[in-house]
Structure 1
Amino acid sequence: MELTKEYIQNLRQDYRSAGLAEGDVDKDPIIQFGKWFKEALEAQLFEPNVMTLATADQYGKPSARIMLLKGFDENGFVFYTNYESRKGKMLTVNPQAALVFFWPELERQVRIEGVITKVEEETSTAYFHSRPKGSQIGAIASTQSHVIPDKASLEDRVAELTEEFKDREVPRPLHWGGYLVEPTYIEFWQGGSSRLHDRIVYEKTDRVWVINRLAP
């Protein structure tokens, strides 16, 4: 296979599995997200909580990476990370973010935009201690997004910490915890034939969600 410009330009998929009408969605986008997320779970998709997290620095320069959703409720969407990582530093100076979920087997996408706040320390600590001990140690050992001399130095640090905490609880490091994305914009996208996709968008105005249809 030769990856020519023409070959890549002709990559396309016609979506035909379902449609999405204004009458099909709940008036509350969090409830609607929960419905779609449950259907993704029931379809046994691989890691349906995988999402793209996009951030930007103080100059508006964007950055994106894959993350895992770790919870959602009427307040918003939660993920956990190192506060001193690149994304953590961006969120400190520009506390806004966007999330994207893509479930290709269901021909669905959800886009979320909102304001970032840290979750309460008690919540971060509780989740930290629910993780496997190896993941807890990894959170301490890794200076995420910072340059390290080699992988061996990281593995050595993990070994040291594994020995140090083999018989006791691993404390949550203060540089690690959760963020809450409080949504102001949520869009539900259902693939349609001939690129006539369905896009239903919720935008928060004066604490009220307004629902509209967007052209594909």
Structure 2
Amino acid sequence: MQGVKKLVDLPSMRVGYGSGADGPGDGAAGADGVRANLDPSWLTGDPPWLSLFETWLAEAIAARIPEPNAMVLGTVDAQGRPATRTVLCKGVSEAGIVFFTGYDSQKGRAIAANPHASATFPWIALERQVHFRGRVVKVDSEETRRYWESRPRGSQLSAFASAQSQPIGSRAELEEAAAAVAERFGGADEGEPVPVPPGWGGYRLEPDVVEFWQGRANRLHNRACAVRTADGWRLERLQP
């Protein structure tokens, strides 16, 4: 199109993964500071993905990665249309990873139609990613209640006021709805406990596939994967 200024030359953009003080190559530590190449043998225990994931998450927290528990959640709706959005992981266990949302939100409706999802933790500053794929189930009401009661009051009031994913006319209308809910429960800063909103709660992604990615020089990245099978977990290295 004539007259459009080219602001960014995307094809020429390059990031030098896996280059350290010793220069590029398999032996060089990348941004994660680890000289050793990620290998499927790092996946140990039952399930084999849990220990390494918890270690990498703790290291992302220690490295002050912004929102280290943020993950890109992918769903597919009843019409087969995919969508992604960033949500916060609020629980990790042998069973899987947990997040919370409105059941009638866009993601909630997609999960109801197709109860499978993906989630990716993009720790790009550490040249690491972890990717989950599997079935999604609702957590029980007690787990939802425990998490809800740990939330700040303002977050509780906002969740109660919002018909998540539904259109609204203006920011002012949204703020008025939040103010009305705060008044209903006795105030924005204190008052009676705010109950769990109807139609709000947690989901657990129960992974069948968990892949760990480590950036390396010349795009010769490391990928180690745990795949659930009828006979247990299969560990494998994937080509970059």
Give the shorter-chain TM-score range: over 0.9
State the match for 1:9 in structure 2: 11
Q: Deviations over 1:73-94 (max 9, x none)?
A: 0010000001110110000010
1:62 paired residue among 82, 95, 109: 82
Q: CA contact under 8 A between 2:101 and 2:200: conserved in structure 1? A: yes
Distance 1:207 1:159, change over 3 A: farther
How many residues align? The count is: 214
Alpha-carbon separation, structure 2, partners of 1:78 and 1:22: 25
| Aligned CA-pair RMSD | 1.4
Please name the residue that 1:159 is paired with: 179
2:40, 2:225 within 8 Å by CA — same for their partners in 1? no
For 2:126 and 2:149, the matched residues in 1 are separated by 34
More helix by share: 1
1:21 aligned onto 2:25:
no
Residue 204 of structure 2 is aligned with which of 180, 193, 199?
Answer: 180
Residues 45-88 of structure 1 show CA distances to partners (whole Å, capped at 9, x for unaligned) of 11110110000012321000011010100010000001110110
1:3 CA drift (Å): 2.3
**Superposition TM-score, scaled by structure 2 size:** 0.86
For the structure 1 residues 44 and 196, does the alpha-carbon distance in structure 2 shift closer, same or farther, using more than 3 Å as the test?
Answer: same
- Asked whether the 8 Å contact 2:42–2:52 carries over to 1, the reply is no
Higher Cα Rg, which structure: 2
Deviation at 1:38, TM superposition (A): 1.3
Q: After TM superposition, give the deviation of residue 207 of structure 1 in Å.
A: 5.5
Q: 126, 129, 139: which is aligned to 2:146?
A: 126
| Correspondence for 2:22 | none
Cα offset, 1:22, TM superposition? 2.8
CA deviations over 1:93-138 (Å, ceiling 9, x no partner)? 1000000011112100111001000000111111111111111111
Q: Does 1:201 align with 2:230?
A: no
Following TM superposition, by how much is the alpha carbon of 1:39 offset from its aligned partner in structure 2, in angstroms? 1.3
Q: CA contact under 8 A between 2:43 and 2:51: conserved in structure 1?
A: no
Over the matched positions of the two proteins, sequence identity in percent amounts to 41
TM-score normalized by structure 1?
A: 0.95
> Which consecutive residues of structure 1, in runs of 5 or more, have no partner in the other structure?
none
